[in-house]
């Protein structure tokens, strides 16, 4: 019983800390935030589950309040989690007009990609992919706020779906995305050889590709970067984790090249809060925020800049990543 009186290390900090402190670096704060990979439905669901008495009651309100005065310009929402149903259309339709984006989204540009209907198409559930699921994706591809196909790919870490089926579904989706001219949002984990083989066999070398939340070997990334001239590497808060050295090593290699870092900044929210963020909120020492969100992107840029050094400060990293987001998704 005595243990119940001790402060838990997993205590959820008050909701107010999700709104984040001001950035100390004025040049970084001046750079607009473009989050190229976030899961809004999951992020909002996590918020409501962790803050039962939370003050925000729908996704639009969450975005307007959490991103208020954070200089968030655009988000790319990723649909690959359950339940989806027709929720994707509701959110996408709510961003069709400039008036709606100003009123409902607080002036933020909402875009999305889809590689599913729900968990059925993500590599973890590739075994459930079928014609009906594919028709749902194809329907979404025609929406004016859709900027890509994904996430899709191979995940051998958990092997929740047989590898042969994962590969079959991956190739099937790639063919459709290429036919439609849609940028690719790729999920790959511990599947380097098969991912590389399939991409090189089925994707033109000039196609636009976003390798999302990269954590595999730098050598693998370099082979892809050399072959696909419009391929970019997604950097999330996982770059700040001591368990992951690959991402930092890769970024260092990229900045040493003549063309500089071919990176995109993303949160993969609600996952992977940047660990360096806690330096800015010492008041919650011993606790951890229960979710990540788009306004945390500057801390990813700050950590990345710290790893690569001059002349790449945090503002320059953010600026380059935003230019790359325009190149891949047309988002700016």
Token pair listed for 123:
């590599």
Tell me what pLDDT residue 158 has.
83
Query: In terms of Cα–Cα distance, which of 64, 83, 63, 96 is closest to 267?
Result: 63
Is 212 labeled as ligand-binding?
A: yes
First to last CA, the chain: 55
The length of the chain in residues reads 332
Burial of 52 (0-12, 13-18, 19+ CB in 10 A): exposed
Token pair listed for 151:
């996430």
The mean pLDDT of 73-88, rounded to a whole number, is 78
Set out the domains of the chain in order of their start, with CATH numbers: 33-329 (3.20.20.140)
Q: Describe the crossing of helices 218-227 and 192-202 by its angle, rounded to 10 degrees.
A: 0
Is 37 labeled as ligand-binding?
A: no
The mean pLDDT of 314-321, rounded to a whole number, is 98
Report the sign of the C-alpha dihedral through residues 68, 21, 59, 173, in that order. positive
Residues 112, 78: contact at Cβ < 8 Å? yes
Tell me what pLDDT residue 195 has.
97
pLDDT band at 83 (very low <50, low <70, confident <90, very high): very low
Tell me what pLDDT residue 80 has.
83
Residue 177 has pLDDT above 80, yes or no: yes
Residue 117 has pLDDT above 60, yes or no: no
Question: Nearest 5°: CA angle at 67, between 58 and 319?
Answer: 140
CA dist., res. 84 & res. 87, Å (int): 6
pLDDT band at 124 (very low <50, low <70, confident <90, very high): low
Task: Report residue 27 CA to chain centroid gap.
Answer: 23
Segment 127-153, tens digit of pLDDT: 677 888 888 899 999 999 999 999 999
Residue 5 has pLDDT above 90, yes or no: no
CA dist., res. 164 & res. 240, Å (int): 33
The mean pLDDT of 146-165, rounded to a whole number, is 90
Question: Nearest 5°: CA angle at 31, between 25 and 36?
Answer: 120
Q: Give percent above pLDDT 90 in the chain.
A: 82
The mean pLDDT of 229-240, rounded to a whole number, is 98
H/E stretch holding 36 = strand 33-38
Is 219 labeled as ligand-binding?
A: no
User: Strand pairing partners for 35?
Assistant: 75
Largest separation between any pair of C-alpha atoms in the chain: 63
CA dist., res. 331 & res. 237, Å (int): 21
Burial of 86 (0-12, 13-18, 19+ CB in 10 A): exposed
Residues 300, 214: contact at Cβ < 8 Å? no
Burial of 87 (0-12, 13-18, 19+ CB in 10 A): middle
Residue 201 has pLDDT above 90, yes or no: yes
- Hey, how many other C-beta atoms are within 10 angstroms of the C-beta on 74? 23
Tell me what pLDDT residue 304 has.
98
The mean pLDDT of 263-286, rounded to a whole number, is 96
pLDDT band at 6 (very low <50, low <70, confident <90, very high): very low
Is 187 labeled as ligand-binding?
A: yes
């Amino acid at each position: 019983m005595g243990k119940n009186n001790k402060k838990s290390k997993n205590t959820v900090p008050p909701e107010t800390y999700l709104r984040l402190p001001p950035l100390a670096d004025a040049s970084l704060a001046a750079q607009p935030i473009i989050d190229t990979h976030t899961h809004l439905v999951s992020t909002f669901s996590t918020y409501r589950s962790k803050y039962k008495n939370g003050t925000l009651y729908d996704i639009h309100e969450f975005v307007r309040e959490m991103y208020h005065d954070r200089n968030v310009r655009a988000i790319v929402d990723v649909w690959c989690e359950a339940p989806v149903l027709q929720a994707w259309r509701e959110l996408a339709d709510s961003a069709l007009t400039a008036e709606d984006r100003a009123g409902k989204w607080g002036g933020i540009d909402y875009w999305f990609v889809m590689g599913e209907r729900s968990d059925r198409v993500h590599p973890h559930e590739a075994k459930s992919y079928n014609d009906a699921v594919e028709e749902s994706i194809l329907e979404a591809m025609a929406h004016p706020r859709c900027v890509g196909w994904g996430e899709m790919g191979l995940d051998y870490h958990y092997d929740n779906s047989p590898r042969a089926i994962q590969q079959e579904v991956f190739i099937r989706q790639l063919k459709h995305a290429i036919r439609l001219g849609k940028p690719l949002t790729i999920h790959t984990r511990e599947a380097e050889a098969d991912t590389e083989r399939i991409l090189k066999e089925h994707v033109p070398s000039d196609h636009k590709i976003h390798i999302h939340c990269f954590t595999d070997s730098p050598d693998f990334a370099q082979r892809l970067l050399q072959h696909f001239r419009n391929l970019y590497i997604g950097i999330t808060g996982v770059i700040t984790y001591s368990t992951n050295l690959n991402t930092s090593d890769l970024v260092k290699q990229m900045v040493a090249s003549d063309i500089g870092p071919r990176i995109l900044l993303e949160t993969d929210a609600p996952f992977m809060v940047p660990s360096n963020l806690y330096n800015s909120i010492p008041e919650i020492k011993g606790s951890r925020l229960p979710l990540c969100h788009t306004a945390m992107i500057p801390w990813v840029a700050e950590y990345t800049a710290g790893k690569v050094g001059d002349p790449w400060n945090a503002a320059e990293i953010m600026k380059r990543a935003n230019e790359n987001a325009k190149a891949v998704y047309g988002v700016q």
